Amino acid sequence: MSTGLIIAIVVVVLLLLVAGVVAARMGARKRRSKQLKDRFGPEYDRAVERHGDRREAESKLEERQERREGLEIRQLEPEQQERFSEEWRRVQGRFVDAPQEAVRESDHLVKEVMRQRGYPIEDFEQRADDISVDHPHVVDNYRSAGRIAERNERGEASTEDLRQATVHYRALFEELLETRVGGGKQADGGGRGEATGGHGGDTGGGRREEVR
């Protein structure tokens, strides 16, 4: 066999190996992206838009997952669920007469449930990132509620803003509590979608019903 033929065979083999490595990496990257999309849902698209680069966004989302895995998140006891549900109904009963205070207390209740479950609560953005791993379909609601709460403290939030903040807080509150505040165990998966959809449907109903 001539030297030229041997070199040609070696080159072909090397090219095939390189192509195999590239294909494997592309496949791994696609699987990684799919896993993150499945895990984070709309939060994945938000991260890509925020960072402007898919790889950087995926790296940040993976950092969130790693941080979350280091937290000891626990379920609430039934008596804790009931106590928080009763407290929520009490707070929301005040909305008509004192909407600003009701929103403040709603924010406090959500943070307290997070604390009881094991989430750090010191920083708002970190809280949102932490809960996005387990509750990606309502975390944007929470961010919206947080922005309204800030305007509320400056005296810039309208009654409609405050009502919307309460609806947003309730979306996350129910997922953290794993029960409807009006009663009834919340189901996994489909139950989350139902709960979120129910909140959206509230916007066309009466005000007392919306903020209960």
> Which residues of the chain are modeled with pLDDT < 70?
1, 26, 28, 182-212
Distance CA 85, CA 101 (A): 18
Say what the pLDDT of residue 126 is.
93
Q: Based on the number of CB atoms within 10 Å of its own CB, is 189 exposed (0-12), middle (13-18) or buried (19 or more)?
A: exposed
Q: For residue 134, what pLDDT is reported? A: 94
Query: What tokens appear for 105 in the block?
Result: 């207390």
Q: Can you give the pLDDT at residue 72? A: 94
Provide φ and ψ at 119, rounded to 5°.
Answer: -85, 135
Residue 2 has a pLDDT of 76
First and final CA of the chain: distance in angstroms?
85
Q: What is the longest distance spanned by two Cα atoms in the chain?
A: 94
pLDDT given at position 28? 63
What's residue 39's pLDDT?
Answer: 85
Contacts of residue 44, defined as CB under 8 A and 6 or more positions apart, other chains included, come to 36, 37, 57, 61, 136
Using a cut of 0.85, tell me whether the model's pTM lies above it: no
Type of residue at 134: D
Predicted local confidence at residue 182, as pLDDT: 62
The pLDDT assigned to 194 comes to 37
